[in-house]
Structure formats: C-alpha cells, structure tokens
C-alpha cells in the first residue's frame, strides 16, 4: 500500500507530457496567435514612431537649432524646444525599442515551443504550419518550409534585421549627427550613451530572437541548414559592424568645436562633415558641426518689417549664453540681436549688420568681424583676443567698456590690449 502511495506521489510530481493531446496543441497555437496579434499592433506603433522621429530629426535645420524652435515629442504630444526634443527623443525611442524587443523575445519563446512540438510530435506538420498567423516572426521562425527556408524566409529575416537592429542604431546616430551644431556636451553625451545602451540591449536580446538554437528547427533539408548558417553569420557580422562602427562615428567623427574629442577627429572626413564652403557660403559636406546661417535675417525672423517696429523693439532675437563656436553668420542681418554671454570663438560675422546688437561679455576670440557694421553695438566685457576687426564700420559708436584681449586686426588709431581674466 505504501509503495502504491509513493508511486502515485511520484507520478504527481512528473511534468505532464505537453502536446500529447490535440487540445494542448490548440491551446499553444491560440497562445501564439494572441501574442502575434499584440505584436502586430506593437510593431506598427514602433515603425510609426521610428519613421516619425526619422522625419522629424531629418527636417531640423540649422535655423531651428539656432532659434530653439519647438518640436513635438511622440506619445505625450508635448511641444519641446529643440534641445529638449533631442535629449528626450532618444530616451523615448530607447524605452519603446526595449519594450518591443522584450515582447518579441516572449513571442519567440512561444513560437519555439510550438515549433518543437510540431517537429517532434506531429506527423503532418506542414498543414498546421500553414494555419499559423501571417506574422513576420511567426512565419520566419515556424512557418511552412517553402516560406522560411526559401527567399521568402530571407526577406522576412531582412525585414526583422533592418527594422529592429540596424534602423534603431542608425536613428540614434542620426540624432547626434543632426544635433552637433548646437554644441551641447551634456545632450551629445546623452545621445552617445543611448547608442551604447541600445547596442547592449541588442546583444542581450536579439540572439534570443534571431540566433535561436536549432534544436527544434527542421534541419533535415540541406537548404534549411545553409539558410540558418547564412542567417547566423550575417546577423552576427552586422551586429559587430554596428558595435565597432558606432563608437568610431560617435567619438572620432561626430564631434564639434569646443569639446576635447574634436582634437582627435579622424582626418579626411570632409565629405561627411565640415567640408569646404561653396559659393552660397554653405558646406559641400552632408553635415556640419557648426551652425551655417549666412545671410540670416534676424529682423525678418522677428517680424520687425518696418523701421517703426524695429525702433520700438528692445531686441530682435535672443540667443543668450549659447555655445556658437565657429558659427557662420556672414552677411547676416543681426540688428538688435541679443548674444549676451555667447561663446562665438572662431565665428564668422564678416559683413554682418550688428547695429545695436548686444555682445556683452561674449567670447569673440579669433572671431571675424571684418566689414561688419557695429553702430551702437554693445561689446562691454567682450573677449576680443585675436578678433579680426578689419574695416569695421562705426567702431567709434561701439561700447567697449571692460572689453579685453588684443584683436588680431584693429583700425588705425584704436588701441585695445587689456588682459582678459583667466
């Protein structure tokens, strides 16, 4: 009697043979179908967000960065200044990407269990595979052989790889490349860290989706084995390219004047960033790490269309306390513009109209002000070390109280050589 009780107790502890009954298969298939339905909605939301951010970031101009134009953050529909969008945008996308990857890991585990059941316990499995949901991952991992083992399977794998591995990393890189002219070390480093976190998540989660173990895979056909090998090798290779290529772009190419990394930028990258200026005074390269706003019209931007409005206005635009190293504002109309406390090191303000502009305590080290109109401009406390003041107009009307530094070129009869504080 005791032996019988022990046998029953032992039997109770044994795990059930899942999949031995048709109801078990139906329950698992329904579970996969439900998860696939959720994943479809989630994937559409994810792709919509990815494309929205790609278009939003791509449409940002140097004028938007200069003026801090407002942008809408997805999901919360909150309007943020450009800097806030470029800081929170990668964070929101990183959270969404993580959630999507986790969901597909769960879906993949369900699919793997179903696939194993079909291989080991179902004779006519192809018929059942054709009844599975028309979901990219379901068909890619457990669809009928003609789907997942042929060119269709290659395309499904490419769709998954491009949308969930390559595109997210490139989007986060794009965030930094477009934001470079703003010159914010805090936000730029946050963007670089976001790329690193995303790469870490991909290495942790993506192998569980795409580099699955072939325990339950149908490797009885040569084509299947070749496809799996091709898939694994290329997936791993692309991930390694992203892992090594991203830091090279982030740290050795995507740098801006004023940060320490800029001194170690890889030479010969002029075709990508900071190329030579063309006849329109714009760089010939795809991107720039400096604001390029030649002929910018601050008066028109402020809608001060007539003399009366301009005379009544205290300021046209306010750009205070910003890092504008190397900015190209040549020939710009900057009347009554407020640049108080800005860092304009190496900035080009040549031939600009700076009438009544505020440049108090601005850093104009090595800046070009040649042929600029400085009538009524305020340069009190400005650092003019190495500045080029060749043929400036109305310099006698400029406020130079406490201005310091020795300009590179000064008009005849003017002496300015007061040491700047360290």
- Contacts (Cβ under 8 Å, ≥6 apart) of 375: 355, 356, 393, 394, 397, 398
Is residue 239 classed as helix, strand or coil in its secondary structure?
Answer: helix
Q: Which of 222, 252, 282 is the last residue of a domain?
A: 252
Task: Note whether residue 267 is domain-resident.
Answer: no
Residues 330 and 212 in one domain: no
Q: Domain check: are 304 and 414 in the same one? A: yes
Picking from 252, 281, 306, the residue at the C-terminal end of a domain is 252
Please check the confidence at residue 90 and state whether its pLDDT lies above 70.
yes
Based on the fold, state whether residues 150 and 229 are members of the same structural domain. yes
Q: Are residues 229 and 337 in the same domain?
A: no
304 and 197 within one domain? no
Same domain, yes or no: 186 and 312: no
Contacts of 168 (CB under 8 A, 6+ apart): 50, 93, 97, 198, 202
Cα-Cα-Cα-Cα dihedral sign, residues 258, 262, 263, 268: negative
Q: Is residue 23 part of a domain?
A: yes
pLDDT in tens, 35-65: 777 777 888 899 999 999 999 999 999 999 9
Residue 283 lies in a domain: no
Q: Residue 396: inside a domain, yes or no?
A: yes
With beta carbons less than 8 A apart as the criterion, state whether 142 and 118 touch: yes
Mark whether 57 and 166 lie in a shared domain.
Answer: yes
State whether 216 and 68 are in the same domain: yes
**Is pTM beyond 0.95 here?**
no
Q: Is residue 5 pLDDT above 80, yes or no?
A: no
pLDDT score, position 125: 67
For residues 293 and 295, give the distance between their C-alpha atoms in angstroms, rounded to a whole number: 6
pLDDT cut 90: percent of the chain above it: 45
- When mean pLDDT is compared across 14-18, 95-99, 152-156, 254-258, the lowest value belongs to 14-18
Instruction: Please report whether residue 282 resides in a domain.
Output: no
Q: Summarize pLDDT for 289-319 with one digit per residue, the tens.
A: 999 999 999 999 999 888 888 889 999 999 9
Beta bridge partners of 81: 70
Please indicate, yes or no, if residue 261 is contained in any of the structural domains: no
Domain limit, last residue, from 252, 267, 282: 252
Task: Please give the mean pLDDT across all residues of the chain.
Answer: 83
C-alpha 314/C-alpha 302 separation (Å) is 11
Could you tell me the residue range of the domain that residue 301 belongs to?
293-422
pLDDT, tens digit, 9 for 90 and up, residues 267-289: 777 778 888 888 778 888 888 99
Take residue 397 and report the two structure tokens written for it: 């009307």
How many structural domains does the chain have?
2
Question: In terms of domains, do 189 and 324 share one?
Answer: no
User: Among 158-162, 226-230, 376-380, where is mean pLDDT lowest?
Assistant: 226-230
Q: Which residues contact 403 (CB under 8 A, 6 or more apart)?
A: 379, 380, 381, 382, 383, 384, 416, 418
Is 148 inside a domain boundary?
yes
Mean pLDDT along residues 85-109 = 91
The CATH number of the domain holding residue 314 is: 2.160.20.80
Q: Per-residue pLDDT for 15 more than 80?
A: no
Does 4 fall in a domain? no
Q: In 3-state terms, what secondary structure has residue 119?
A: helix
Q: From CA 132, how far away is CA 348, in angstroms rounded? A: 64
């Amino acid at each position: 009697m005791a032996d019988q009780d022990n046998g029953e107790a032992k039997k109770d502890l044994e795990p059930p043979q899942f999949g031995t009954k048709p109801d078990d298969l139906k329950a698992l298939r329904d579970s996969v179908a439900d998860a696939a339905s959720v994943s479809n909605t989630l994937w559409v939301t994810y792709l919509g967000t990815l494309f929205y951010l790609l278009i939003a970031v791509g449409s940002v101009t140097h004028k938007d960065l200069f003026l801090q134009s407002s942008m809408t953050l997805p999901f919360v529909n909150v309007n943020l200044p450009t800097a806030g969008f470029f800081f929170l945008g990668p964070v929101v996308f990183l959270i969404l990407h993580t959630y999507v990857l986790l969901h597909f890991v769960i879906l993949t585990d369900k699919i793997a269990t179903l696939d194993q059941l079909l291989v080991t316990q179902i004779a006519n499995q192809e018929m059942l595979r054709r009844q599975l949901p028309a979901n990219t991952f379901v068909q890619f991992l457990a669809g009928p052989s003609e789907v997942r083992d042929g060119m269709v399977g290659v395309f499904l794998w490419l769709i998954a790889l491009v949308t969930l591995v390559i595109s997210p990393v490139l989007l986060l890189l794009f965030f930094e490349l477009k934001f470079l002219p703003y010159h914010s070390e805090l936000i730029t480093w946050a963007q670089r860290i976001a790329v690193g976190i995303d790469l870490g998540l991909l290495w942790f989660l993506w192998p569980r989706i795409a580099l699955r173990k072939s325990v339950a895979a149908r490797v009885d056909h040569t084509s299947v084995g070749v496809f799996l090998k091709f898939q694994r090798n290329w997936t791993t290779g692309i991930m390694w390219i992203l892992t090594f290529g991203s830091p090279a772009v982030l740290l050795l190419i995507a740098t801006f004047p004023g940060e320490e990394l800029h001194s170690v930028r890889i030479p010969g990258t002029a075709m990508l960033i900071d190329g030579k200026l063309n006849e329109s005074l714009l760089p010939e390269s795809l991107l720039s790490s400096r604001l390029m706003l030649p002929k910018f019209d601050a008066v028109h931007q402020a809608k001060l269309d007539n003399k009366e409005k301009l005379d009544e206005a205290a300021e046209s635009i306010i750009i205070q306390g910003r890092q504008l190293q190397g900015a190209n504002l040549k020939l710009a109309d900057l009347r009554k513009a407020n640049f108080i406390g800005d860092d304009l090191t190496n900035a080009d303000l040549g031939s600009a109209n700076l009438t009544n502009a505020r440049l108090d305590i601005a850093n104009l080290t090595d800046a070009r002000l040649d042929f600029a109109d400085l009538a009524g401009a305020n340069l009190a406390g400005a650092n003019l070390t190495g500045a080029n003041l060749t043929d400036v107009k109305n310099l006698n009307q400029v406020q130079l109280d406490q201005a310091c530094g020795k300009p590179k070129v000064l008009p005849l009869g003017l002496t300015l050589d007061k040491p700047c504080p360290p």
